[in-house]
Chains A and B, each alone.
Chain A
Amino acid sequence: MKIPDVNEKYSGKMNETVLGKGDYVAGGADGMFFLSFENSSKRRVMIAGEVVDDLSDYPELAASMFDNRQKDPVEWARMWKSLGIDMICLRLKGIDPDKKGTTPAEAAELVQNIVNATQLPIIVYGCGIADVDNDVMKVVSGSMKGTKLILGKADEDEYKTISSAAIAGKHTIIAFSNLDVNLAKQMNIILTDFGVQYNDILMDPLMAPLGMGLDYSYSVNERIRLAALSNDKMLQIPMICDATGSWDVGDAVNDELDNVKGRVTWWEAMTAMAAMVSGADIIIMRNPGAADMIMSYADELRGE
């Protein structure tokens, strides 16, 4: 029996954002994700492996998965590369004056060393203290002209300094919003109005982890994707989702239950799967086991 044609006719498609040296491109889908009957884009979801330069807040269980290479961020990034990862996500936690208090110049040197060691696109986040991050991003951006970094993150309250830094260094910038389709759009408008190139933005609508609000993120992502496909240009910007929040969920890391390592691996992998199915183009991951699973699922879903 013939079954009905269920292809949707969409009027818009996702923007394509060139990352790193131009050999990585995010976005481009022209249908709902992984549906080969309506989405002609075969681009794979990309996975970024997390590296931090200060382990004081980093879970011991995660550290134990890296065979001591976590003590040297450059070695750590090399290990991610050997696992086949697409990008490195470097969190400069150490620039916090209450931690290592790394100087902006030292931070920039670390970024340079990781770029040299891996030749992969690098996402750079600060420590979360706005003034410290701003100072560091200015120096990192300036010293890395000619290498396209992905700088995180611009939010509604704090976007001017980091945006100026990104514009000056021709880097990509992450526009952060908090589980709100309208705010996600607003952030993209704010940044382009400020002078950031439309092609240099990735949006992060906040991926809440499994069991801690994943339902909100899943639907916000789907709504963003559907709006993009109905040709809302300001929502056609590729999406980056951070799955490492899974490690903050009590049930995921509860070591009183059986096999905490297996459980936290699934916790992060399912968060990443939900991100992927709802529309992520790039996913940041912490756990090498989960990242390996998601890389192979991403390959398979792409259909090649």
Chain B
Amino acid sequence: MPTAIEFFKLLPKTNCKDCGQPTCLAFAMLLSNQKAKIDDCPHVSSESKNALEASSAPPIKTVTIGKGKEIKMGGETVLYRHERRFVNPIAYAVTVSDTCKIKERINDIKRLSFERVGMTFDVDMISIRCDSGNAGTYKDAVNSAMELWDRPFILECDETILKDVIEKAAPRRPLLYCATSDNIENMTELAKRYSCPLTLKDASPEDLADLSEKAKASGVEDIVLDMSPANLKECLERQTIARRSAIKKKFKPLGYPLMDRVGSGEYAVAMAAMSTMKYGSLVIFDDLKEYEALPLFTLRQNIYTDPQVPIQVKQGLYPIGEPHEHSPIFFTTNFSLTYFTVRADIEKSKIPVWLQIVDTEGLSVLTAYSAGKFSAEHVAKVLNESGVLSKSDGVVVIPGLVARMSAKLHELLNRKVIVGTSESRDIPKFLKDLSTK
């Protein structure tokens, strides 16, 4: 990203205020912080605009796979997630071999779907792979897969077979896998003619940079790189080299999304976890099991959260265990760490509880209270609206840190209200004592 001064040099420097800012310099500062768009200045020359767009393009190109339902990859701007949110989450693809029963296979892949803290996790893509070596078989497989699967996909075959299927598949903008130094000319020609993104594969970063220059020179810009790491260390090291050279050294030939082709089973999942943390944009599995997918999807969710915005859970009533009409009612804020901690500690007690989450815009208990987003009035309103008070006549338990809302809440709810613990870890003991009373 250019600095404010670099932006300023390209502006008209008339301080006309038409952009809404008092001076061109003020506008330039907003631009460098990505708080304004260059189009907000009606007077900027088209040469300046082109220069600005070129220099403010992310050092790692954004590549889109699919049409309609699309997946964006790359577009990254930093090395560490505390600097700025990572932009486009890594995508996971599972292989559909042309020798298997396509319908059953795709249905199995669709079943790998989970809900977690208000988000749905699905397999992002399939990779239709030619294992038969037969153009007709592959074509049939691609045709049925395209009918059954409306998300993005990858065509994984050699270029002679690709020629027969690409025309029909191209409107869906599949990723082509893959071009190597042996077939680069033919593959770039197909990618260019049908406007499809193309994977380039080579184990050496130097040779891969040569390949990407060649592809670019022949007019292919939507490139994905496969550095084919053989193990975790190579994955970490090669992907770090590519990311650093693109971001810190502005080295364009490696400034593309990175992908890994892994197999299946334990080591494949470990490779995917490494790639998720360290700069991968796509992993293709031979196969992925439910017990492997849920932790992996969760890892991706964690790595790609915005470090500057607290993660929040949805306001709502969360029954823990199987609470009944006398179970106690807990409430707390929607800051996800608070929610997870309180929930885990309630679960430890093995005593069923109604847990009401109150939207505090992700603030923790004390901060939300000080900011007026966790007042007795607000809590009473949420408890009334959620219906929990008619589901249970149990006591309402106040987080210990906001004990001072106790009298007010009692008055508003007309229900027995008791002060709970200040520390979440003391909840199990608190609940045990409460249940023996």
Contact = CB atoms under 8 A, between A and B. Distances in A.
Interface string A268-300: 011001100100000000000000010001001
B55 interface: no
- B233, B307, B341, B425 pick with most chain A CB within 10 angstroms: B233
Interface stretch (B67-75, B342-350, B387-395): B342-350
B249 interface: yes
B289 to A, nearest CB: 7
B273 interface: yes
Interface stretch (B134-142, B186-194, B215-223, B291-299): B291-299
Nearest to B248: A6
Interface residues of B, number: 54
B251 interface: yes
A111 interface: no
Contact of B206 (A2, A213, A301): A2
Given A35-B236, A35-B237, A297-B232, A210 B295 contact: yes
A216 interface: yes
Contacts of B305: 215
B270 A257 contact: no
Given A34-B236, A251-B294, A259-B290, A215 B274 contact: no
A229 B139 CA distance: 54
Contacts of A34: 233, 236-237
A223 B305 CA distance: 17
B30 interface: no
Interface string B257-297: 00000000010011001100110000000000111101110
Interface residues of A, number: 48
B274 to A, nearest CB: 7
A222 interface: yes
A31 to B, nearest CB: 11
Contacts of B344: 212, 248-250
A266 B269 contact: yes
Contact of A259 (B81, B206, B291): B291
A67 interface: no
Contacts of A252: 295
Interface string A206-217: 001011111110
Contacts of A257: 290-291, 294
B347 A250 contact: yes
Contacts of A32: 240
Interface in A68-87: none
- A57, A215, A222 pick with most chain B CB within 10 angstroms: A215
B76 to A, nearest CB: 15
Contacts of B245: 3-4, 6
B311 to A, nearest CB: 7
B381 to A, nearest CB: 28
A250 B80 contact: no
Contacts of B269: 266
B430 interface: no
B210 A1 contact: yes
A263 interface: yes
A262 B289 contact: yes
Contacts of A213: 336-337, 340
B253 interface: yes
A125 interface: no
A249 B341 CA distance: 9
B303 interface: yes
Given A248-B344, A273-B277, A6 B244 contact: yes
A258 interface: yes
A218 B303 contact: yes
Interface in B305-336: 305, 307, 311, 336
A208 B337 contact: yes
A195 interface: no
B46 to A, nearest CB: 32
Contact of A218 (B266, B302, B348): B302
User: When A and B form their complex, which 9 residue pairs have the shortest distance between CB atoms, in order from nearest?
Assistant: A4-B249, A262-B291, A6-B244, A259-B291, A263-B291, A219-B82, A215-B302, A266-B295, A211-B298
12 contacts: A1-B209, A36-B233, A212-B340, A216-B337, A218-B81, A252-B295, A257-B294, A262-B292, A263-B290, A273-B270, A293-B270, A300-B232
Interface of B: 80-82, 116, 205-206, 209-210, 213, 231-233, 236-237, 240-241, 244-245, 248-249, 251, 253-254, 266, 269-270, 273-274, 277-278, 289-292, 294-296, 298-299, 301-303, 305, 307, 311, 336-337, 340-341, 343-344, 347-348, 425
Given A266-B296, A293-B266, 17 more contacts: A1-B213, A3-B241, A36-B237, A211-B301, A250-B347, A251-B116, A258-B289, A258-B291, A259-B291, A263-B291, A263-B295, A266-B292, A266-B295, A270-B295, A274-B277, A274-B302, A277-B278
Interface of A: 1-4, 6, 32, 34-37, 57, 128, 208, 210-216, 218-219, 222-223, 226, 248-252, 257-260, 262-263, 266-267, 269-270, 273-274, 277, 293, 297, 300-301, 303
